[in-house]
Chain A
Amino acid sequence: MPISRIYTAASASRKKQALSYSKGESNLGPTFTYGKFNFDYSINFQGLKLGFEDKNGIYHYKRDIVGWKHESNIATQTGTFYLQPIEPLNLPDNVTDFIEIEFKEITIEPDGKAVVFLTIPIEIGVFLEAKNGERNLLDIVTFCHPKFSLYGAASRGVITRFHKSEVYAMPPSVENYKEGLLRLEIENDTDKWAAVGRVVIYQKGLNLYYDETTVSACAKMIIRTRDVADVVGIDQPIREGMTQCLQVFEQRKTTPFCNIEGALLDTTFTMDMGMR
């Protein structure tokens, strides 16, 4: 059954809005099951072997993904763990705070609006949770090949986690262990035609959600001039019933998004070095 859009809110205001796109069925093979599990868990999925062994009260965590291994011991009586999609900014190292998605150019009419779907790379976080709710990140794995890029000039640009995506008018089926869907709302606030071929998002503002088949996020891009646009993440899933993911990401305290104490002020990134 093809994925169909039941309701869109393209004409709604900028306020948080209810969106719903039907789940449909993935025709891309098996889907990865995210959620909360007990320590008797073990999985062998698309080359990822992950599981816990009980060794007299100490759980031995083992992970292997195409020869890339990690092992750890966990002492817990009542703990559980989560497998959740997380922002793709941790592997191979925490290099940047920004994600850049390049896509086929879209030209938008003056004062026009477009809602498109792009794919975003994801990583999978393994979180431990104690009885008191305290969480700890145990491991991160990914099925994606990380690639970085530079948006702007070397002197005043930003390093970005690069991803290339097709443009979809409707949410496509994606492999939920590799990629998520980004619902991008583009508003052209100018009185001229504007072309957009990339979006750079400050990841702290981008909240991921997941359900059985899909990982999603939403963002908004407002074109201010022909070469300048503001991009901000919107904290909402693409359909109801999705669960919000835990965030691993800790922003650098010296970014312009924070005050002197390091508190996050704003998550809007101004793309002032072109959008193509």
Chain B
Amino acid sequence: MAEINTTILDSFIYGQVTVGNIVIFILLLVVTFILARAVSGVLIRTLAGKTEAKTIDLTVKSIRTVIYVVGIIVACTQLKIDLSGLLVAGGVVGVAVGFASQNTLSNLVAGILLMFERPVNIGDSIVVNGTEGYVEGIGLLSTRVRTYSGLYVRIPNDSLFTSEITNMVSNVARRFDYNISIRYTDDAKKAIKATKRVIEEHPYALKNPSPSVYVDNLGAHGIELKVRIWSPSGFWWDARTELLWTIFKALRQEDIDVPFDQLTVWFGEEDAAKLQSSLEEGTDMTVEEILGKSEKAPENANSGRV
């Protein structure tokens, strides 16, 4: 029985092509079809949500076509069709097209790599090469960005891939800071308490990590407070724009104010008079201590006598 089957498979249909060749040809086509379907399915699942639907469609169709072409070429060898001429011609055309479209191919490869690496997603707020805005679409060749002022910017994928990308919303939360100055006559502890109270009331100022408010520097014109607040990445700008004014109003309510830049000019006579009066009142302090403890410290004074 096996012998009869072998005989049937070995029987020639035309030229050197046997029934067996036809069977293998059909099997290869079926395998090609199944492989193309499977790869398409995997690609759709992998790329879904990472890029635009039409880009996914184009990518899947392109890869499916390549699989079909390769499958058909391999299957054709069973029909004793000589494709060497076609392959050579295809190779030459391929090299020519490759040279001509070097940049395009580079962008294409970068686009595919971006889809897998996913440094940015549609809707993300990013900064690339000085361009700030929202990602509107990630295509095979380029990425579209809408700047905060509403301008359309097309960034070639090759450029995007090799650039430093700052993704503002990649992490779920981010921190923003304020520097707030208060007068030396104000109570920093009271200011910190009032600031913390305002932050606590704002919904987008996260409970954890807890906000931090502290005296950061004793500046030339006032006490400098540093305020550090964590917020959900998608809402940090809302919080940032609302909170500063609210903090300012709360500080004003506590009679705490922002210092104006000021320059105290000391005259030698005044210095001497104050010193004399302090000494007359009877004190154990040195001249330096008296002057150093004064709010109008001589370090701020214009040393040039007028």
Assuming A148-B203, A150-B173, A260-B45, what are 6 further A-B pairs, CB within 8 angstroms? A92-B203, A95-B204, A95-B232, A149-B206, A154-B230, A260-B48
Chain A, 113-148, contact with B by CB distance < 8 Å: what is the 0/1 string? 000000000000000000000000000000001111
B172 CB, nearest partner CB in chain A, Å = 5
Chain A residues with Cβ below 8 Å from B232 are 95-96, 148, 159
Whether B172 contacts A147 by the Cβ 8 Å rule is no
- Check if B171 sits within 8 Å of A155, measured CB to CB: yes
In the complex, what residues of B have CB within 8 A of residue A250's CB? none
Interface residues of A in 53-112 (CB under 8 A from B): 92-93, 95-96
- Please give, as numbers and ranges, the residues of chain B lying within 8 Å of A157 by CB-CB distance: 172-173
Is B119's beta carbon under 8 Å from chain A? no
**Is the Cβ of B203 less than 8 Å from the Cβ of A158?**
no
B209 located at the interface, meaning its Cβ lies under 8 Å from any Cβ of chain A in the complex = yes
Chain B positions 166-218 with a Cβ under 8 Å from a chain A Cβ: 171-174, 201, 203-204, 206-209
Report whether B203 and A150 are in contact in the complex, using a CB–CB cutoff of 8 Å.
no
Q: Are A93 and B235 in contact (CB under 8 A)?
A: yes
Contact of A146 among B48, B174, B203 (CB under 8 A): B203
Complex CA gap A157/B230 in Å reads: 13
The 0/1 profile, CB within 8 Å of A marked 1, for residues 47-76 of chain B is 011000000000000000000000000000
- Contact B230–A150 (Cβ < 8 Å): yes
Residue in contact with B203 in the complex, picked from A147, A154, A155, A260, CB distance below 8 Å? A147
Interchain CA distance A117-B166 in the complex, whole Å: 44
The 12 listed contacts between A and B (C-beta, < 8 Å) are A95-B234, A148-B203, A149-B206, A150-B172, A150-B206, A150-B209, A154-B171, A154-B173, A154-B230, A158-B172, A159-B232, A162-B208
Given the complex of chains A and B, what is the CA–CA distance between A260 and B42 in angstroms? 12
Q: How far is the CA of A95 from the CA of B232 in the complex (A)?
A: 8
Secondary structure call for the B interface: loop
Q: A149 contacts B235, CB within 8 Å?
A: no
- Residues on B with C-beta less than 8 A from A13 are none
- Nearest CB of chain B from residue A191's CB, rounded to whole Å: 30
Closest to B234 in A: A95
By the criterion CB–CB under 8 Å, are A149 and B172 in contact? no
Per the bound structure, the CA–CA distance linking A93 and B232 in Å amounts to: 12
Bound state CA distance, A253 and B48, in angstroms? 11
Taking CB atoms, residues of chain B closer than 8 Å to A158 are: 172
When distances are taken between beta carbons in the complex, the residues of chain A under 8 Å from B235 are 93, 95
Residues from 147 to 192 in A contacting B, C-beta threshold 8 Å: 147-151, 154-155, 157-159, 162
Known: A157-B172, A157-B173, A159-B173. A148 touches B206 (CB 8 A): yes
Contacts of B201 in A (CB 8 A): 145
Closest CB-CB distance, A87 to chain B, in whole Å? 16
- For the complex of A and B, the 4 pairs showing the least CB-CB separation, nearest first, are A149-B207, A154-B171, A146-B203, A154-B173
- Which residues B230-260 have CB closer than 8 A to chain A? 230, 232, 234-235
Is A11 positioned at the interface, with any CB of B under 8 Å from its CB? no
A158 to B250, CA, bound (A): 31
When the two chains form their complex, are residues B48 and A147 in contact, meaning their CB atoms are under 8 A apart? no
Q: A155 to chain B: which residues have CB within 8 Å?
A: 171
A199 → chain B closest CB, angstroms: 14
CA–CA, A157 to B174, complex, Å? 12
How many Å lie between the Cα of A95 and that of B231 in the bound state? Answer: 11
Q: Which of B49, B173, B207, B234 contacts A147 (CB 8 A)?
A: B207
Q: B20-58: contact bitstring with A at CB < 8 Å (1 yes, 0 no)? A: 000000000000000000000000010011000000000
Bound complex: CA A147 to CA B201 (Å) = 8
Distance of A146 Cα from B202 Cα, bound (Å): 8
Q: Are B208 and A150 in contact, with the CB atoms below 8 A?
A: yes
Contact yes or no, A254 B49, CB < 8 A: yes
Minimum Cβ distance to chain A for residue B40 (Å)? 14
Whether the pair A154, B49 counts as a contact (CB closer than 8 A) is no
Choice from A146, A149, A260 contacting B208 with Cβ under 8 Å: A149
Q: Which residues of A contact B204 (CB under 8 A)?
A: 95, 148
Residue of A nearest to B44 (CB): A260
Per-position binary interface string of chain B over residues 151-173, scored 1 when its CB falls under 8 Å from any chain A CB and 0 otherwise:
00000000000000000000111
Tell me the nearest residue of chain A to B200, going by C-beta. A147
Distance A150 CA – B211 CA, assembled complex (angstroms): 12
Complexed CA–CA distance, A95 and B201 (Å): 17
Q: Considering only CB atoms, which chain A residue lies closest to B201 in the complex?
A: A145
